Amino acid sequence: MTTYSAVVTTGIYCRPGCGAKPLAKNTRTYELAAAAEAAGFRACLRCRPYRVAGPIAADTPELVCRAWQLIIDGVLDEGTEAALAERVGLSPRHLRRLFLRHLGASPDQLARSRRAHFARRLLDDTDLTVLDIAFASGFGSLRQFNRIMREVFRASPTDLRDRRHRADRLVADGGLALRLPVVPGYDWDAVRDFLAARAVPGVEAVEGRTYRRTISVDGAPGVLEVSPGDTAGHLLLRAHLPYWEGLIHVVDQVGRLLGTETDHAAGVAALSADPVLGPVVRERPGLAVPGAWSALEIGVQEVLGRGRWLEALVEGLGTPVPGLPGGLTHVFPEPGALTRTALAALTLPETASPLSEAEVTRVAALAAAVAGGDGALGYGTSPDALGALPHLDEDLRQAIGLRLGQREAFPLADPALLAALERIGVPRTGAAPWTAGRWRPWRALAAAHLMAYGERHRVRSRT
């Protein structure tokens, strides 16, 4: 992952590749920018470390990852560390101790740094007003925004905007354009192909090297577009939203969907050395494990598959959004729309057949879990919490868990994964015992590579 170098004699920290050449004896290293800031260092004005990806390591303890995901979801925007600790079942003191040990900063320090860095990117990339940027970045007031930016960057937001480079400003033909930092080596084409093979009809679309999807922001529709950046180290995100308040959470969800939130370098190194899986991983080493826009969306997709029923559900129960390009027609249904009654009434026009009772039960249970707001089904949820949900068999739990950030998830029933195993010499009849103890602790990363490999060769066999 990214390692930041801090210079004790200047009080400045830099990202890798900065032109500054301090003496080694005067430097300290930190894995997160927030950790360097917590130690009293400020960002370098030359290399601007806030513009690079700074994900937490893939081997960070599960509880810390869960708490971090809750911070990304905005738990600390208005809440306290005590409330966060309660959500993950720890005392505030123990949670703080775990964060300091593994991440180098407290939950509050990480949340503050994250909001400040996002705001700094908006000051560089966009022409949004300072007030709009404050609320887009999750700050509760303009006064708080000014205070935190001065603490982190030693300058006011207005001064920081005055310092931006001429080439920083992005001009978008409609919408708001932002740079989305990625880790070195991130393979956008591999991730895009993975998402294209699993796109929800009417909700997601891939055209060329651009991925598009519809979203809902407090009930109002929006559209997101992601394409390669003009230089290495970032993607270009173009957002068409009804308003900018809370934009930071939308961008964070994009990062989770695209797998930019975790650095898999250690996993790639370990799996590349495997005599069986190694050639598959080395073919696309920059593939990240894609996440999901929402737990409900990926759960429903895994229950119904990629066929006509998923399309019928979106058309019948989703919110229509007319006039969009590239086959985008609807926003995915809200949890409240996926009741047993509504699902049982769905039919396929060509057959007039209804959903099976088992599928109705599973989808309704997933929707109820999300609508309940108890956190039982969310990104970063534990395997035990997912296992406690009713009507899900082990195959479904593994498939959903993979896209919800469970690092040991391995969806052996996935057709593309099974096809890939066959290609590397593992017969389907013996796949379960052969894979049972393999590739830990990187099973989800291994599964993603196998699924992508299987899809690639399935496409080649059809052409």
Q: Average per-residue pLDDT in the chain? A: 90
pLDDT of residue 460: 56
**Beta partners for 5?**
14, 29
Cβ(84)–Cβ(110) below 8 Å: no
Kindly state whether residue 182 falls inside one of the protein's structural domains.
Answer: no
What predicted TM-score, i.e. pTM, was given to this entire model?
0.88
Nearest to 106 by CA among 115, 95, 96, 98: 96
pLDDT in tens, 65-84: 889 888 888 888 888 999 99
Q: Judging by DSSP bridges, how do beta strands 12-14 and 4-7 pair with one another?
A: antiparallel
- The full DSSP string for 188-251 is HHHHHHHHHHTPPTTTEEEETTEEEEEEEETTEEEEEEEEE-SSTTEEEEEEE-S--TTHHHHH
What share of the chain in percent tops pLDDT 70?
Answer: 97
pLDDT of residue 463: 46
pLDDT of residue 195: 95
**How far is it, in rounded angstroms, from Cα 453 to Cα 460?**
11
**How far is it, in rounded angstroms, from Cα 460 to Cα 420?**
13
pLDDT, mean of residues 136-164: 93
pLDDT of residue 253: 93
The SS3 assignment for 289 reads: coil
pLDDT of residue 375: 56
> Which residues belong to the active site?
14, 414
pLDDT of residue 390: 83
Kindly state whether residue 154 falls inside one of the protein's structural domains.
Answer: no
Neighbours of 393 (CB within 10 A): 10
Task: Identify the burial level of 421 via C-beta atoms within 10 angstroms of its C-beta, where 0-12 means exposed, 13-18 middle and 19 or more buried.
Answer: buried
What share of the chain in percent tops pLDDT 90?
Answer: 65
**How far is it, in rounded angstroms, from Cα 70 to Cα 417?**
30
Kindly state whether residue 197 falls inside one of the protein's structural domains.
Answer: no
Kindly state whether residue 276 falls inside one of the protein's structural domains.
Answer: yes
pLDDT, mean of residues 436-450: 94
224 band by pLDDT with thresholds 50, 70 and 90 = very high
pLDDT in tens, 299-354: 999 999 878 999 999 999 999 999 888 899 999 999 999 999 999 999 887 777 88
What's the domain count of the chain? 2
Kindly state whether residue 373 falls inside one of the protein's structural domains.
Answer: no
pLDDT in tens, 258-301: 998 788 889 999 999 999 999 999 999 999 999 999 999 999 99
CATH of the domain at 39: 3.40.10.10
**How far is it, in rounded angstroms, from Cα 381 to Cα 292?**
13
pLDDT, mean of residues 13-41: 88
DSSP-derived secondary structure letter, 368: H
Kindly state whether residue 24 falls inside one of the protein's structural domains.
Answer: yes
Neighbours of 212 (CB within 10 A): 22
pLDDT in tens, 373-421: 655 577 877 777 888 888 889 999 999 999 998 889 999 999 999 999 9
pLDDT, mean of residues 31-55: 88
pLDDT of residue 169: 80
Of 48, 67, 82, which one is at a domain's C-terminal end? 48
Task: Identify the burial level of 14 via C-beta atoms within 10 angstroms of its C-beta, where 0-12 means exposed, 13-18 middle and 19 or more buried.
Answer: buried
pLDDT of residue 412: 94
192 band by pLDDT with thresholds 50, 70 and 90 = very high
Confidence check: pLDDT of 448 > 80: yes
Per the omega criterion (within 30 degrees of 0), is the bond before 441 cis? Answer: yes
Confidence check: pLDDT of 462 > 60: no
Kindly state whether residue 428 falls inside one of the protein's structural domains.
Answer: yes
pLDDT in tens, 420-430: 999 999 888 88
pLDDT, mean of residues 199-225: 94
Q: Which domain holds residue 35?
A: 4-48
Kindly state whether residue 354 falls inside one of the protein's structural domains.
Answer: no
- Report residue 292 as tokens: 């999901």
